[in-house]
Amino acid sequence: MNCEHFVTKLKYGKPMSDQGKHPKPGDLIEFQRVGYQHWAIYMGDGDVVHLTDQDGKSSISSVMNSSAVVRKDPLEKVAEKDNYRVNNKYDEKRKPLPTEKVLRAALEKVGKRMKYNITTENCEHFVTQLRNGRSFSDQVKNVMTHVTAVATVLLSAFAVFMFIKPITYISLPAIAWRRLLK
């Protein structure tokens, strides 16, 4: 097991290279991209339905778009060289809808343009809405947590700097005054 698989196993409970496990229709498929995850619904016969940019690349640059298209593509084409796995983790939060209903709803959306927003309407929101009847996105929640933490650290550092700076201004003239009096 290499370092990447070890860390992924710690984070997700199993390595992302579970490509040998055959997904069942209606399963959520998580693709590990560089810096983010892409999500799709497995339809059976090696195909997935996913929300992506027009060419189906689901690249990090697609987050700048305000719309996306629902496509049905072969699982292996969507994965390219990236690892993927079945990940129905939201079933713990909300019971999945019947498989037939999930597949029918996914097929009805194929070819349609949809609004896209990285924080509220991304590919993970899309597939969890189909499977669980409610949209979820832990990766958005995780990013927001990290952004909040970084902002807190920066604001704290700024506050400390602003507090120390006046003390320095007060102290330096006092030191200079004492030297003059000697």
Both tokens of 131, joined, read 């499977």
Query: What are the structure tokens assigned to 60, written together?
Result: 């990090």
Rounded CA-CA distance 101/149 in Å is 40
For residue range 85-143, list pLDDT tens digits in order: 999 999 998 999 999 999 999 999 999 999 998 888 999 999 999 999 999 888 655 55
Residue 124: enclosing H or E segment and its boundaries? Answer: helix 123-132
Query: 70 near 121, Cβ under 8 Å?
Result: no
Return the closest-CA partner of residue 90 out of 149, 169, 26, 172. Answer: 26
The pLDDT of 7-19, averaged and rounded, is 50
Could you tell me if 124 and 39 are in contact, meaning their C-beta atoms sit under 8 angstroms apart? yes
Distance of CA 59 to CAs 21, 34, 70, 134, 156, Å? 25, 9, 15, 25, 35
pLDDT surpassing 60 at residue 60:
no
Active site residues per annotation: 38, 50, 123
Lowest pLDDT segment from 33-37, 44-48, 74-78 = 33-37
Q: Is pLDDT above 50 for 29?
A: yes
Q: Is 16's pLDDT higher than 70?
A: no
Sheet containing 84-86: order of strands: 84-86, 28-32, 37-44, 47-52, 67-74, 113-115
Q: To 10 degrees, what angle do helices 99-109 and 123-132 make?
A: 140
